[in-house]
């Protein structure tokens, strides 16, 4: 009888633990991107898929693209307010609300993707990001890098600083402010109208991303000069997680979520690298007249000067921004020495 009782107890224990471990946690994630905007949204889908598989179905994340929630630039507010548990976006979209969030995407003349990942994961970048986002009651994690973004498509070649004076260009954000300091007439045009604006000479130049995403926009058909990058050397997308939603998850699911986001970020970086190579091969074959250009030294020097001035102005207003920029600067000094003697010299001698 005693034995049977013990057996029954054991059985009920097994049942209850297995029920506890079978509890399904459902999260909702909103993205800035439309449902097919590869490779950006792929990172969100991929993280959700991995989390579900690794948790054996216990962690389910529903991804809502921007056509569903209609608020592509409201992700931080929605995650903060709890309408969504998670978001996939980019930190620099929040610079108007909190300037200290700006450097977690990419800074002009800043770290490259491998350097920036090393900063995030090995040199305190991730901790600084959590510190900045703590006041918004969310956590933020790297969400996939575009790597070096191209400097943009220009209808005319840019040879001197004078060529920039009065040039009409779509280049948003911090880089746009730098260009404005150089005399560029910076305009903001909705993505869907960019091709027509360039085609009808309403603008003379624009920047978007790189071959991977530019090819669908068709700019290469109408603007033959493709300038190399300087302003977004490693634009990192971002996962946002509401702190309360995260705290409700058991420890193993928290870890699964963190690992899923980290792997999804890496996967997006790789996916985009390959998409760039594939798209560029196609563009070059179909439009052999495209010329890849780098901005002359005179222009690069002027951009660097304007960049420095802007950073100083903003840092004076926000000690928190200064702390993040200083951390990146200190790390860049160290890591760039290695990049120079490894990747840079290897490539220089083998291209
Ligand atoms: Ca861009």
CATH number of the domain residue 46 falls in? 3.40.190.170
Please tell me the distance from the alpha carbon of residue 168 to that of residue 48, in angstroms, as a whole number.
41
Indicate whether 163 and 304 sit together in one domain. Answer: yes
For residue 13, is it within any domain?
no
| Residue 341: inside a domain | no
End-to-end CA distance of the chain: 81
Q: What spacing in Å lies between the alpha carbon of 47 and ligand 1's midpoint?
A: 23
Cα 313 to averaged position of ligand 1 atoms, centre (Å): 23
The reply to whether 106 and 194 lie within a common domain is no
Asked if residue 188 is part of any domain, the answer here is yes
Looking at the structure, do residues 294 and 311 belong to the same domain, yes or no? yes
| Residue-number span of the structural domain to which 298 is assigned | 152-231+288-317
Q: Could you check whether the bond before residue 39 is cis, i.e. omega within 30 degrees of 0?
A: yes
Q: What is the pLDDT of residue 73?
A: 93
Could you tell me the distance, in angstroms and rounded to a whole number, from the CA of residue 142 to the centre of ligand 1?
17
User: Are 36 and 111 found together in one domain?
Assistant: yes
Whichever domain contains 200, its CATH number is 3.40.190.10
Q: Give the distance (Å) from ligand 1 centre to CA of residue 95.
A: 15
Residue in 222, 179, 217 with CA at minimum distance from that of residue 199: 222
Within this chain, do residues 31 and 139 fall inside the same structural domain, yes or no? Answer: yes
Residue 4 lies in a domain: no
158 and 201 assigned to the same domain: yes
Give residue 255 CA to ligand 1 midpoint distance, Å: 32
Q: Are 100 and 248 found together in one domain?
A: yes
Centroid of ligand 1 to alpha carbon of 262 (angstroms) = 22
CA of 303 to the centre of ligand 1 (A): 16
Quote the ligand 1 centre to 207 CA distance (angstroms).
6
For ligand 1, the distance from its centroid to the CA atom of residue 208, given in whole angstroms, is 4
C-alpha 147 to ligand 1 mean position (Å): 11
Same domain, 184 and 69: no
pLDDT digits (tens, 9 = 90+) for 278-316: 999 999 999 999 999 999 999 999 999 999 999 999 999
Q: How far is the CA of 187 from the centre of ligand 1 (A)?
A: 14
Q: Which H or E run includes 27?
A: strand 25-31
- For 133-189, what is each residue's pLDDT tens digit? 999 999 999 999 999 999 999 999 999 999 999 999 999 889 999 999 999 999 988
- Distance between Cα 235 and ligand 1 center (Å): 8
In a domain, 37, yes or no: yes
Instruction: Dig out the tokens for 186 from the structure.
Output: 């910076």
Cα 209 to middle of ligand 1, angstroms: 4
pLDDT at 184: 98
Token representation of residue 248: 């409700």
Provide CB contacts within 8 A for 145, sequence distance 6+: 113, 116, 117, 234, 235, 236, 237, 265, 268, 269, 272
Q: Which pLDDT value is given to residue 6? A: 60
Q: Is residue 98 a contact partner of residue 240, using CB atoms and an 8 Å limit?
A: no
For the chain, 351 residues long, give each residue's pLDDT as a single digit of tens: 555 556 555 555 555 555 555 899 999 999 999 999 999 999 999 999 999 999 999 999 999 999 999 999 999 999 999 999 999 999 999 999 999 999 999 999 999 999 999 999 999 999 999 999 999 999 999 999 999 999 999 999 999 999 999 999 999 889 999 999 999 999 988 888 999 999 999 999 999 999 999 999 999 999 999 999 999 999 999 999 999 999 999 999 999 999 999 999 999 999 999 999 999 999 999 999 999 999 999 999 999 999 999 999 999 999 999 999 999 999 999 999 999 999 999 999 998
**Separation CA 207–CA 217 (nearest Å):** 11
Domain co-membership, 102 together with 169: no
Q: What is the CA(232)–ligand 1 centre distance, in A?
A: 7
Q: Return the structure tokens found at 329.
A: 């600067």
Number of domains observed in the structure of the chain: 2
- Interval between CA 268 and ligand 1 midpoint (Å): 16
Q: Is residue 176 domain-shared with residue 113, that is, in the same domain?
A: no
Distance (Å) from CA 211 to ligand 1 centroid: 11
CA–centroid distance, 307 to ligand 1, in Å, is: 16
Sign of the torsion angle spanned by Cα atoms 226, 229, 234, 238 = negative
In a domain, 327, yes or no: no
Same domain, 53 and 128: yes
Q: What distance in angstroms lies between residue 210's CA and the mean position of ligand 1's atoms?
A: 8
336: in domain: no
Q: Please check whether residue 16 lies inside any domain of the structure.
A: no
**In this structure, are 242 and 134 located in the same domain?**
yes
Given 223, 246, 275, which residue is the final one in a domain?
275
């Amino acid at each position: 009888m005693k034995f049977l009782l013990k057996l029954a107890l054991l059985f009920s224990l097994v049942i209850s633990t297995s029920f506890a471990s079978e509890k399904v946690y459902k999260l909702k994630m909103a993205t800035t991107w439309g449902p097919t905007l590869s490779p950006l949204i792929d990172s969100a889908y991929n993280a959700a898929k991995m989390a579900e598989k690794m948790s054996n179905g216990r962690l389910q994340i529903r991804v809502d693209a921007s056509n569903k929630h209609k608020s592509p630039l409201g992700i931080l507010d929605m995650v903060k307010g709890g309408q969504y548990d998670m978001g996939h976006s980019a930190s620099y979209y929040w610079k108007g609300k909190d300037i200290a969030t700006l450097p977690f995407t990419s800074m002009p003349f800043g770290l490259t993707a491998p350097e920036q990942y090393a900063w995030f994961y090995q040199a305190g970048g991730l901790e600084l990001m959590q510190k900045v986002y703590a006041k918004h009651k969310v956590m933020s994690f790297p969400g996939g890098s575009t790597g070096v973004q191209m400097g943009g498509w220009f209808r005319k070649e840019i040879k001197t600083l004078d060529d920039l004076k009065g040039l009409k260009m779509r280049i948003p954000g911090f880089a746009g402010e730098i260009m404005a300091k150089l005399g560029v007439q910076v305009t903001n045009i909705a993505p869907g109208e960019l091709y027509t604006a360039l085609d009808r000479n309403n603008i003379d130049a624009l920047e978007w991303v790189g071959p991977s995403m530019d090819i669908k926009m068709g700019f290469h058909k109408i603007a033959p000069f493709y300038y190399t990058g300087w302003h977004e050397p490693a634009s990192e997308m971002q996962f946002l997680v509401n702190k309360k939603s995260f705290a409700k998850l058991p420890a193993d699911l928290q870890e699964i979520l963190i690992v899923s986001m980290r792997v999804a970020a890496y996967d997006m970086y790789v996916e985009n690298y390959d998409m760039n190579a594939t798209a560029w091969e196609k563009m070059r074959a179909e439009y052999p007249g495209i010329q890849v250009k780098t901005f002359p030294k005179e222009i690069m020097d002027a951009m660097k000067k304007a960049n420095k001035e802007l950073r100083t102005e903003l840092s004076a207003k926000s000690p928190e921004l200064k702390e993040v920029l200083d951390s990146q600067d200190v790390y860049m000094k160290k890591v760039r020495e290695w990049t120079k003697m490894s990747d840079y010299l290897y490539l220089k001698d083998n291209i």
